[in-house]
């Protein structure tokens, strides 16, 4: 799949968390194709450097920043290394599906630390700087799992519902200062972090009868952070093949 390459993000720096894999990786390629300098974040340096090299080979600009976002210290380290950015995509996270009784308290903690606390701390550190500059765009990765009830997805769904709630409240807090805050709520997407059999099965429940490729989510994010979406803030955009429409 090709990326849309309208050069509407030149002179902008974009931090994409979790860009070493899946949706984040596709977002990094997309924003670089639109002219942004992309900070490719993740924990796996090998995969991170590979993403940077692929972006550079296609004429884009990128650098890798490593940080574990499960801890507040890890987030502070990322904030320090990121410097000034105009675009933040809160994408890093993971899913856990299974019987609620089988989720250990430790995994529940890690799920909320990676998916919720990290986005909260990162945005609290970076959005005020964007607001002071009067310019910025933030996109949060929510999910269809945060909208509909999926058996086995109670905790994961709650982390994603939190991201939707953050989106509306941060839009109220920062948009009067020129910072747009939106979310995408993808349906099932084929990535390394998702079990392919589950994703395929979920895909058959959508109106389009299939799961998505990461680029189909990245394209929407590329639009949302661009000036083409200048009047959109506080929106949660379903990118789910129509699953939550029914
Ligand atoms: N796939 C789907 O069906 C789907 C649907 C709706 C929403 N989403 C959301 O989309 C986002 C990306 O999902 P994906 O399927 O693309 O996942 P993925 O392929 O597993 O990639 C996850 C990325 O997040 C990073 N990451 C995870 N936890 C981290 C932590 N504690 N600290 C630092 N980095 C961390 C990983 O870094 P390293 O690998 O370098 O460690 C990796 O780059 C997630 O927020 C997910 O909830 C996914």
The answer to whether 117 touches 109, Cβ cutoff 8 Å, is no
The answer, yes or no, to whether residue 1 has pLDDT greater than 80, is: no
What is this structure's pTM? 0.98
The answer, yes or no, to whether residue 43 has pLDDT greater than 60, is: yes
Cβ of 18 below 6 Å from ligand 1: yes
- Strand partners of residue 42: 66
The answer, yes or no, to whether residue 67 has pLDDT greater than 90, is: yes
* Any domain includes 228: yes
* Any domain includes 233: yes
Say how many Å lie between the CA of residue 193 and the centre of ligand 1: 6
- Nearest atom of ligand 1 to the alpha carbon of 156: 47
The answer to whether 75 touches 122, Cβ cutoff 8 Å, is yes
Token output for 92: 């890093």
Interval 121-132 mean pLDDT: 98
CATH assignment at residue 89 = 3.40.50.720
The answer, yes or no, to whether residue 244 has pLDDT greater than 80, is: yes
Cβ of 43 below 6 Å from ligand 1: yes
Cβ of 159 below 6 Å from ligand 1: no
**Which residues, including other chains, have CB under 8 Å from residue 153's CB and lie 6 or more apart?**
95, 97, 145
The answer, yes or no, to whether residue 193 has pLDDT greater than 90, is: no
Do β-strands 179-186 and 136-141 pair in parallel, antiparallel, or remain unpaired?
parallel
Q: Mind telling me the catalytic residues?
A: 156
Interval 59-80 mean pLDDT: 98
Question: What integer pLDDT is reported at residue 74 of this predicted model?
Answer: 98
Which residue has 């959005």 as its token pair? 127
Sheet harboring 136-141: ordered strands across? 61-66, 37-42, 13-16, 87-90, 136-141, 179-186, 236-239
- In angstroms, rounded to a whole number, what is the distance separating the alpha carbons of residues 91 and 4? 20
Interval 38-63 mean pLDDT: 98
Cβ of 143 below 6 Å from ligand 1: yes
**CA-nearest residue, atom 36 of ligand 1:** 18
* Any domain includes 2: no
Question: What integer pLDDT is reported at residue 5 of this predicted model?
Answer: 77
Ligand 1 test: best mutation among 30, 50, 93, most atoms within 8 Å of CB?
Answer: 93
* Any domain includes 4: no
111 lies in which domain range?
A: 13-245
* Any domain includes 6: no
Question: What integer pLDDT is reported at residue 2 of this predicted model?
Answer: 59
Interval 205-221 mean pLDDT: 98
Total domains in the fold of the chain: 1
- Number of Cα atoms under 13 Å in the Cβ half of residue 186: 26
Helices within the chain (DSSP H only): 22-33, 45-57, 72-82, 105-112, 118-133, 154-174, 196-203, 214-224
């Amino acid at each position: 799949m090709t990326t849309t390459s309208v050069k509407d993000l030149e002179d902008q720096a974009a931090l994409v968390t979790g860009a070493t894999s899946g949706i984040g990786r596709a977002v990094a390629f997309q924003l670089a194709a639109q002219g942004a300098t992309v900070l490719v974040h993740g924990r796996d340096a090998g995969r991170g450097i590979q993403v940077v090299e692929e972006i550079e080979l296609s004429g884009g600009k990128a650098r890798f920043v490593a940080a574990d976002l499960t801890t507040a210290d890890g987030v502070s380290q990322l904030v320090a290394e990121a410097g000034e950015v105009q675009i933040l995509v809160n994408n890093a996270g993971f899913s856990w599906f299974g019987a609620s009784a089988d989720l250990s308290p430790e995994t529940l903690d890690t799920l909320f630390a990676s998916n919720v606390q990290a986005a909260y701390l990162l945005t609290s550190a970076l959005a005020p700087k964007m607001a002071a500059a009067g310019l910025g765009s933030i996109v949060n990765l929510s999910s269809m799992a945060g909208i509909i009830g999926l058996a086995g997805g109670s905790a994961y769904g709650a982390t994603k519902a939190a991201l939707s709630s953050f989106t509306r409240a941060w839009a109220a807090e920062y948009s009067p200062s020129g910072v747009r805050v939106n979310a995408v709520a993808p349906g099932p997407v084929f990535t390394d972090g998702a079990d392919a059999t589950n994703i395929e099965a979920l895909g058959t429940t959508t109106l389009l009868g299939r799961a998505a490729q990461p680029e189909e989510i990245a394209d929407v994010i590329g639009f949302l952070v661009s000036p083409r979406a200048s009047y959109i803030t506080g929106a949660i955009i379903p990118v789910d093949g129509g699953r939550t429409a029914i």
